[in-house]
Amino acid sequence: MKSIFKSNTKNEKNLGFGKFASEGNRMRLINRDGSFNVERKGLNFLSSLSIYHFLLDMSWTKFFSFAALGYIFMNIFFASIYVLLGNNAILGHGSLNFWEQFSDAFFFSVQTSSTIGFGHLTPGNFLSDLVVSVESFVGILGVAIITGLLFARFSKPNAKIIFSENAIIAPYKEGKAFMFRIVNARKNQLFELDGEVNLILQKTINGKTERTFHKLDLEISHLTFFPLSWTIVHPIDSNSPLDDFSETDFINSDPEFYIFLKGVDDTFNQYVYTRSSYKMSEIVYGAKFESIIDMHKTGEKMSVDISKINSFEKITFP
């Protein structure tokens, strides 16, 4: 058997993890969802706080809750000012106790910031007129900000590629191959897909553990269209750093596969990028994917059953 580990210094450094990753530790570098497993500290809070990215990346539920909370607090803030300006600040209902006064001020503020202005409550003196002027401006800016954010969230191009839960080591031609499967979870169509798979292996020599990086050859690395599913295949042949690996070799070398996909989104005509990773615990040694395409359908359309994306049958290598 030839040397199991073929270090490729160039690829390793180009991946961007540098010396850290090549040190002997078994930390995951890229999470399943494609984010980096990195903690960043020492950055001034304000300069790292990219509110915009924060508001763009949160879930829709959180986003609307944030917006609602902001609306409530803004109205409480202005209501407090109207209350502080005294009983004559708002003309309309004869307010009796503090809570009635405050709730009137709050509803007056709502009618002002949202620009409804029914007019049964009106500003009563110069100062409250002034506050109304400020609040109307804040209201306009607020609507502008919400609108801008909503659209930015809408127009953020994002692919939703579903990866098979497991990658498998499957029979392939006369040998074996590393395979996983992806499918497009969105109605929009993707094309000009490019895939790249990188591998990190652990290697222990004289008690010292090192990591080696490898860019893997793929059977196919580019698709013009992506209408169905794509089984991405790295043939384990003599050019592969995994050549002649037994199941034990796999487990000992703790392989991590990093996947990097890009393609053009039909709706926005823009490139979208997706990353993911497989660690050994997510890889099945000895398996075959079951087809997710209905071959015997007699209808007019090709048919793909996305729920079967992870269906495989276990097999034993001879």
245-264 residues near a copy of itself, rule: CB under 8 A: 260, 264
Indicate the DSSP class of residue 307: G
Nearer to a copy of itself, 120 or 314 (CB): 120
CB atoms within 10 A of CB 280: 17
In whole angstroms, give the CA distance from residue 265 to residue 196: 18
CB of 81 to a copy of itself, least distance (A): 16
In whole angstroms, give the CA distance from residue 9 to residue 104: 70
Nearer to a copy of itself, 24 or 246 (CB): 24
For a copy of itself, the binding residue among 2, 42, 94, 96 (CB under 8 A) is 42
In whole angstroms, give the CA distance from residue 218 to residue 201: 18
DSSP 44-91: -HHHH--HHHHHHHS-HHHHHHHHHHHHHHHHHHHHHHHHHT-TTSEE
Window contacting a copy of itself (CB under 8 A); options: 169-177, 202-210, 276-284, 285-293:
285-293
Nearer to a copy of itself, 157 or 286 (CB): 157
Nearer to a copy of itself, 2 or 301 (CB): 301
CB of 290 to a copy of itself, least distance (A): 13
Residues 101-140: x where in contact with a copy of itself by CB under 8 A, - otherwise, as a string: --x--xx--xxx-xxxxxxxxxx--x--x--xx--xx-xx
CB of 244 to a copy of itself, least distance (A): 26
In whole angstroms, give the CA distance from residue 293 to residue 280: 27
Q: Does residue number 50 form part of the binding site for a copy of itself (CB under 8 A)?
A: yes
For a copy of itself, the binding residue among 73, 77, 191, 317 (CB under 8 A) is 191
DSSP 211-262: EEEEEPP-S--EEEE-SSEEEEEEEESTTSTTTT--HHHHHHH--EEEEEEE
Residues 215-234 that bind a copy of itself (CB under 8 A): 219-220, 222-231
Beta-bridge mates of residue 176? 171, 236
Residues 59-98 that bind a copy of itself (CB under 8 A): 64, 67-68, 71, 75, 91
Window contacting a copy of itself (CB under 8 A); options: 34-42, 80-88, 165-173, 203-211:
34-42
